[in-house]
Structures are given as C-alpha cells and as structure tokens.
Amino acid sequence: MGKYGWSLPVAASSYAGSIDFGIWLIHAAMLGIFVLWGAFFIYLLVKYRARPGVQAVREDHGPASGRMGELKSLIPDAFIMSFEIALIVFYAIPVWSRIKMSAPDVKDPVRLEVVGEQFGWSVHYAGPDGKLGPRRQDLVHFSNPIGLDRAAAESADDVVMGNEMRLPVDRTALIDLLSKDVIHSLFIPEFRIKQDAMPGMKIPMWIKPTKTGKFEITCAQLCGFAHSLMRGDVFVQTQEEFDAWYQGRLATMPATAKPGSAAEDF
C-alpha cells in the first residue's frame, strides 16, 4: 500500500482542495459514464440475444430519417463533450491560473529559492529582510552549492539547507525555482504542486501550507542515474517552531564564502 495509501495524499496546501475536487469530479463522471454505458450494453446484449426463431433485420430507412437517426446517435457525445468543455473553461483554467499565473499579494511572505542539481535540492532562505543574497558561480563549492556570496549585505540573514525545506504553517511562501544542470521537477504531493526546474530560468511558484507535518520532496523529472534518490523533506511548523529553527540554523551559517572551482552557469 505504501506511504500514500489507496486514496489521495493528505491535502496540505491552500489550493490542494481545488486540485482534488477536479480529480474527484473527473473520476465520478467517468464512473457514472462507465456504469451507465455498461448497463446499457448489458441491456442490449440480453434484449437482442440470439434465440430460436428470431432473426436480425436491417431496417432500411429513407435518406431523411437516416440522417436524423445519425444525429440522434450523437446526443450522448454532445452531452459528454459539453461537460468536458465546461470543465476546462469554468473549472480547470480558472483554478490553474489562480495557482500558476500569479502569486497572492501578501504583506509578509516567506521568501526562498530552491535550486535543483544532480542529485539534490538546495533551499535558500532570504531571512527576515526578505532579500535573497546574490549567488556567484565562482563561489560554487561543496560547502556552498549555490555559490551564495556571504560578503553581500542581503546574505547576512540567509540560511541554506540541503534537501530540507521548512515552512511556517498558514503563511504564503514565495519560491524561485532554479536548476544548476539539467531539468528537474520539484514535486511535493501533499501540496499538490509539481513544477519543472529549468537550467537558466528562474521559475516563480508559491505555496501556502495549511497543515503541520513532515512531507516528502521528490524529483519528478528523470534527471540522471540517481534521480530516484533526489529526495528531501518538508517540515511545516508553527511560526514559533520555524523561528526557533531558523535562529538555530542562522548561527551555524559560515560568515564568509570560500571561492570554489566549479563553473556551473545558472
């Protein structure tokens, strides 16, 4: 059965409910169509079964009634097609654009940057100043995988974690998603978010976690031999827990960045 069970994973973000409603609606509609169609099919099988003394008759309609018959047979198709078009126009597009086209305009968002690479995620927190410190490719090093320039003023309160994301509950997090090498995809099932990370692009995304707990980050884009190991944890905590964690981590951050030798361009 696995950790996610038979049904959908726990819904832990503000938009998870909208995504789930769409999934349930489509499944319910498909089930309804399957049952109705199956029942109709069985009815026809029984009604027109082969019996002694009964023979198939092909009725030859005139041209006009033939065309009417053909049109009538399209009624179920038209019904299903209108349902699907309505689903796309009135449900899927509005929900998708609410999630993907812009972030909610909140006063005090948590700002972070997630950088994918073969094979892990670096999570870079802007800290209370809300400003992400600059990254420099000549500073990329095993001890500084994103090349954060610790000398810059904006970096003073920045925290960088490997494969660990912490978010305060009920607060909007604005995330820039990047990749250092190939295409990855940040997938957090409980948040119902899956977003490709493209090398050379900064992709904005947002999450408002609504449940505390520990969830899984996986890479949803086959990105190399250790793709399946490209995992991390998300901890959704209360604001107090988050602040305590942040202060603790901040104390362990190096004051300066040593120059590295890697020359990844991102």
User: Is residue 180 close enough to count as binding Cu ion by CB under 5 A?
Assistant: no
Among 115, 177, 219, 236, binds Cu ion (CB under 5 A): 219
**Length in residues, the chain:** 266
Comparing C-alpha atoms, which of 112, 111, 116, 223 is closest to residue 178?
A: 116
Nearer residue to Cu ion within complex by CB, 230 or 257: 230
Could you tell me which stretch among 29-37, 39-47, 101-109, 215-223 binds Cu ion (CB under 5 A)?
Answer: 215-223
* Residue 253 tokens, joined: 């951050």
User: Is residue 178 close enough to count as binding Cu ion by CB under 5 A?
Assistant: no
C-beta of 228: minimal distance to Cu ion in Å? Answer: 9
What residues contact 92, with CB distance under 8 A and at least 6 apart? Answer: 22
Could you tell me which stretch among 74-82, 145-153, 202-210, 220-228 binds Cu ion (CB under 5 A)?
Answer: 220-228
Measure Cα distances from 106 to 123, 174, 203, 233 in Å: 21, 10, 19, 25
C-beta of 184: minimal distance to Cu ion in Å? Answer: 3
Nearer residue to Cu ion within complex by CB, 217 or 230: 230
Nearer residue to Cu ion within complex by CB, 126 or 219: 219
User: Is residue 217 close enough to count as binding Cu ion by CB under 5 A?
Assistant: no
What residues contact 232, with CB distance under 8 A and at least 6 apart? Answer: 120, 121, 123, 162, 163, 164, 165, 216, 217
User: Is residue 223 close enough to count as binding Cu ion by CB under 5 A?
Assistant: yes
Q: What is the DSSP string of 165-185?
A: EEEETTS-EEEEEEESSS-EE
Cβ atoms of residues 37 and 240 within 8 Å: no
Q: Which 7-26 positions form the footprint of Cu ion (CB under 5 A)?
A: none
Could you tell me which stretch among 120-128, 160-168, 209-217, 226-234 binds Cu ion (CB under 5 A)?
Answer: 226-234
> How many Cβ atoms sit within 10 Å of the Cβ of residue 199?
16
> How many Cβ atoms sit within 10 Å of the Cβ of residue 186?
26
C-beta of 48: minimal distance to Cu ion in Å? Answer: 56
Nearer residue to Cu ion within complex by CB, 123 or 126: 123
- What is the x/- site pattern for Cu ion, positions 32-51, by CB under 5 A? --------------------
What residues contact 233, with CB distance under 8 A and at least 6 apart? Answer: 163, 164, 165, 214, 215, 216, 217
| 213 secondary structure, DSSP code | E
Among 19, 167, 230, 234, binds Cu ion (CB under 5 A): 230
Q: Which residues bind Cu ion (CB under 5 A)?
A: 184, 219, 223, 230
